[in-house]
């Protein structure tokens, strides 16, 4: 099984975890003792012409508890944010950090994908207009798990005046979390490149080619967001590796109602893939090929 530990991302998490507890700027409803959710913003005062602002949710989970990525596996409830009608925020875009796979040793297809401990999830708040003051009231829904999984809801609120730009005391929390986000596949600073995705020769699994200078280590994982007809919670394995190319075999989870494995996505389907390693993470939409390329060799970057 592959276990995830990403040094660059872990450094950002360590810095975030060392910051003082969130106070004042994020108001929230009372949370149960095993979870606390706060909203924070990068700015304490927002310029008059700004149409969006950077913010974050700080989710503190007690030891043993976890919550979910945007595609948690066949079971799990990802985070959703619903701004109130009276809010100055039109919508809140969630910028998902690279997750961790929590491997179910006895039944790998029951593994889940998400976060534990303190997690900072960046938000991009799109404003309705240039009102004098900004009010962000929202309902937060997410699943949290320990021995059992439960849905949890919370209310968060931010009030930010307009005026000359002024950084918030929580700016570092937001900035570190944004820096730790997965790079786009085509970004020059991306540590790796997701080269291709193809059905395996027997049509049962999906092979993904990764170009990386770091090679394969125990610190890597690869995530495919679920489709309507397929999920991918089962941990992947290295199929082959040579030079700066690593090919992963990813498994389509069985249908838990019948025990059969679904046929999988159609050729040409754009797979939403996130690859995470010790140097960072990269994400891309990659069209599914009928077969792998004739050569696995990656061009030197």
CATH number at residue 261: 2.60.40
Inside any domain, residue 299: no
> 181 falls in which pLDDT band (50, 70, 90)?
very high
Q: What ranges make up the beta strands (E) of 78-224? A: 80-83, 89-94, 100-102, 112-116, 118-127, 133-145, 149-161, 166-167, 183-184, 192-199, 205-212, 221-224
Domain boundary among 134, 152, 179: 179
Q: What is the pLDDT of residues 277-288, one digit of tens each?
A: 887 899 999 999
- Kindly state whether residues 130 and 195 are assigned to the same domain: no
Mean pLDDT of the chain: 85
- Kindly state whether residues 15 and 152 are assigned to the same domain: yes
- Kindly state whether residues 12 and 149 are assigned to the same domain: yes
Angle, in degrees to the nearest 10, between helices 7-18 and 171-179? 170
For residue 220, the enclosing domain spans 183-289
Inside any domain, residue 137: yes
- Kindly state whether residues 168 and 190 are assigned to the same domain: no
Number of domains in the chain: 2
**Range 18-27 contact pairs with CB under 8 angstroms and sequence separation of 24 or more:** 19/172, 19/173, 22/58, 22/170, 22/173, 24/169, 25/158, 25/168, 25/169, 25/170, 26/58, 26/156, 26/157, 26/158, 26/170, 27/156, 27/157, 27/158
pLDDT at position 30: 54
- Kindly state whether residues 170 and 279 are assigned to the same domain: no
> 32 falls in which pLDDT band (50, 70, 90)?
confident
Inside any domain, residue 300: no
- Kindly state whether residues 30 and 145 are assigned to the same domain: yes
- Kindly state whether residues 23 and 170 are assigned to the same domain: yes
- Kindly state whether residues 152 and 266 are assigned to the same domain: no
- For 70, the token pair is 């945007």
Share of the chain above pLDDT 70, in %: 85
Share of the chain above pLDDT 90, in %: 62
pLDDT at position 190: 72
- Kindly state whether residues 158 and 242 are assigned to the same domain: no
- Kindly state whether residues 46 and 136 are assigned to the same domain: yes
Inside any domain, residue 244: yes
The CA-atom distances, in angstroms, between 20 and each of 15, 26, 105, 119, 168 are 10, 14, 36, 14, 14
Mean pLDDT of 148-164: 93
pLDDT at position 242: 79
Domain boundary among 133, 149, 179: 179
pLDDT at position 88: 93
pLDDT at position 241: 85
Domain boundary among 125, 144, 179: 179
Inside any domain, residue 198: yes
The CATH number linked to 124 is 2.60.40.1250
pLDDT at position 11: 37
Inside any domain, residue 205: yes
pTM of the predicted model as reported, rounded to 2 decimal places: 0.85
- Tell which phi-psi region holds residue 163, choosing left (phi > 0), alpha (psi between -120 and 50) or beta: left
- Kindly state whether residues 220 and 170 are assigned to the same domain: no
- Kindly state whether residues 193 and 254 are assigned to the same domain: yes
């Amino acid at each position: 099984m592959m276990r995830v530990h990403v040094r660059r991302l872990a450094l950002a998490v360590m810095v975030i975890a060392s910051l003082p507890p969130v106070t004042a700027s994020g108001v929230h409803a009372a949370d149960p003792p095993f979870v606390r959710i706060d909203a924070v913003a990068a700015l304490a005062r927002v310029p008059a012409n700004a149409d969006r602002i950077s913010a974050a949710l700080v989710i503190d989970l007690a030891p043993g508890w976890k919550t979910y990525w945007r595609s948690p596996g066949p079971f799990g409830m990802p985070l959703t944010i619903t701004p109130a009608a009276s809010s100055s925020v039109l919508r809140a875009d969630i910028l998902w950090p690279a997750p961790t796979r929590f491997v179910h040793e006895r039944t790998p297809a029951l593994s889940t994908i998400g976060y534990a401990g303190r997690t900072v999830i960046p938000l991009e708040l799109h404003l309705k207009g240039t009102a004098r003051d900004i009010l962000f009231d929202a309902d937060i829904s997410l699943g949290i798990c320990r021995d059992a999984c439960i849905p949890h809801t919370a209310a968060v609120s931010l009030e930010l005046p307009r005026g000359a730009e002024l950084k918030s005391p929580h700016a570092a929390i937001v900035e570190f979390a944004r820096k730790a986000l997965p790079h786009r596949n085509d970004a020059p600073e991306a540590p790796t490149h997701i080269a291709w995705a193809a059905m395996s020769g027997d049509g049962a699994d999906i092979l993904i080619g990764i170009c990386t200078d770091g090679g394969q280590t125990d610190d890597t994982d690869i995530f495919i967001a679920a489709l309507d007809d397929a999920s991918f919670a089962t941990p992947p394995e290295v199929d082959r590796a040579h030079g700066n190319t690593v090919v992963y075999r990813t498994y389509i989870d069985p249908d838990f109602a019948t025990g059969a494995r679904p046929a999988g996505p159609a050729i040409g389907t754009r797979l939403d893939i996130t690859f995470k390693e010790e140097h960072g993470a990269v994400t891309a939409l990659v069209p599914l090929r009928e077969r792998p390329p004739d050569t696995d060799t990656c061009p030197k970057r």
